[in-house]
Amino acid sequence: MSFDFDRVIPRDGTDSIKHDGRAGYFGTPDVLPLWVADMDFAVPEAITQALLARAAHPIYGYSRYPEAVFESLISWMGQRHDWRIERDWILPAPGVVPSLHAAVLAFAAAGEGVIVQPPVYYPFFSAVTGTGRQLLENPLMLRDGHYQIDFEQLESCAVHANARLLLLCSPHNPVGRVWTREELARLLDIAERHDLVVLSDEIHHDLIYPGRRHQVLAALTDNPARVVTAVAPSKTFNIPGLGLSALIVPDPARREALSKAFDLLHAGNYNPFSSAAFAAGYRNGAAWLDALMTYLAETRDFVTEFCRQNLPGIRVVEPEGTYLLWLDCRALCVQRNWDDAAMKRFFVEKARVGMNPGTVFGAGGSGFMRMNIGAPRSVIETALRRIASA
């Protein structure tokens, strides 16, 4: 089977945030959009067919989740992640960010502590601060170009009298780490000794580069009761606009608490199109995904080599997973005497490339940019050439 990831599909005028939202975010529509985390590739054909088939029935009424949603996820987790889950553990959810919020509401009372590990996807902060919980930060450590968890500092956060919940990003957006079994076992041990619930956001867990393996945190233990796993086909198959995700919650009391948090806002997402795409992706998307990862790995290597040869002030932090590259531009900033605002101006106004400034990911983000390589290689190459000539 072959898939055409080189095909450029114009998205202007589709109300895509990444494309049509450029002027609002960057102050100009004239940037190549390598920011919001979706991809400029056509989804697996099976998903399009499932959506067309559902659309052919002309009534789109209130719907329940079909069994196919549960069955397809159980089978995907077993086959791709070697984790046997039970149907009762699955709680469909309108998205992973809503799930972060629900977990914070369910497992930490107002004023209680929630641990996050910056630099990290920015809703991890707002889920805590926006709900009146206390943010406990355990910044990742950058050692020899490689990010690591600071386990000593994590232990200090966990012994904090108020600490209740840890929000884990696995794989980690934006630094691209795929945490190892050893790292996850250490983290789980700390959670167990200090009675923390762990919300493990594994939305990127299918986007793993050759030679790495994603370990589901909950699958590390025979008693996964304290772990809540958030997954979705949205990043995997490029359908985040459709919204549906799932929480996998082995512990009945924790499941109940999360259900209550969603019920409070009546925040279900019983959307017949989301369900159709969800099941079609998990049932029939494996070959597309494998081809996608081969393509992304080649793009990653291309960007890394291009920077090495042509952009000495920019270093790609080698990602182990995700289509998000974390560019270390600190040397460039030192050479040019730039602060973060000047660096952002350079990329937007001079290079005309729209990336996320590292500072939005919190502590440790200064001097970095996040580049989304989920686009045809010709687009990525144009972006790199623009940066080089600027």
Ligand X SMILES: Cc1ncc(COP(=O)(O)O)c(C=O)c1O
Please say which residue, 342 or 360, places its beta carbon nearer to ligand X: 360
Return d(Cα 350, Cα 67) in angstroms, integer. 52
The minimum distance between CB 332 and ligand X, in angstroms, equals 25
Residues 345-364 that bind ligand X (CB under 6 A): none
Cβ partners under 8 Å of residue 140, min gap 6? 117, 118, 119, 147, 148, 149, 150, 172, 175, 177, 364
Per CB under 6 A, contacts with ligand X among 100-139 are 121
Residue with tokens 């641990």: 115
Establish whether the linkage from the previous residue to 240 is cis, with ω within 30° of 0.
Answer: no
What's the rounded Cα separation, in Å, for the pair 321 and 176? 5
Percent helix, strand and coil across the chain, each to the nearest 5: 45, 15, 40
The reply to whether 37 sits near ligand X by the rule CB under 6 A is: yes
232 binds ligand X (CB under 6 A): yes
CA distance 21 to 370: 17
Q: Which two tokens stand for residue 229?
A: 């796993």
Closest distance to ligand X from the beta carbon of 268 (Å): 14
| Of 33, 44, 92, 95, the one binding ligand X by CB under 6 A | 95
Pick between residue 92 and residue 250 the one whose CB is nearest to ligand X: 92
Rule CB under 6 A: choose which of 173, 215, 236, 299 binds ligand X: 173
Give CA separation, 49 vs 189, 231, 245, 279, 289, in Å: 45, 23, 20, 12, 17
Which range binds ligand X by CB under 6 A, 12-20, 140-148, 210-218, 232-240?
Answer: 232-240
234/359 with CB nearer ligand X: 234
Among 113, 119, 240, 362, binds ligand X (CB under 6 A): 240
CA distances 65 to 225, 240, 298, Å, are 25, 18, 38
How near is the Cβ of 245 to ligand X at its closest, in Å?
A: 5
Minimum separation from the CB atom of position 98 to ligand X (A): 6
Task: Kindly list the distances between the CA atom of residue 36 and the CA atoms of 235, 327, 356, in Å, as whole numbers in the listed order.
Answer: 11, 16, 8
138, 229, 238, 245: residue in contact with ligand X (rule CB under 6 A): 245
Q: How far is the CB of 37 from ligand X (least distance, A)?
A: 3
Counting contacts by CB under 6 A, is residue 201 touching ligand X?
A: yes
From 95-103, 282-290, 332-340, 347-355, give the range in contact with ligand X by CB under 6 A: 95-103
Residues that bind ligand X (CB under 6 A): 37, 95-97, 121, 169, 173, 201, 203, 232, 234, 240, 245
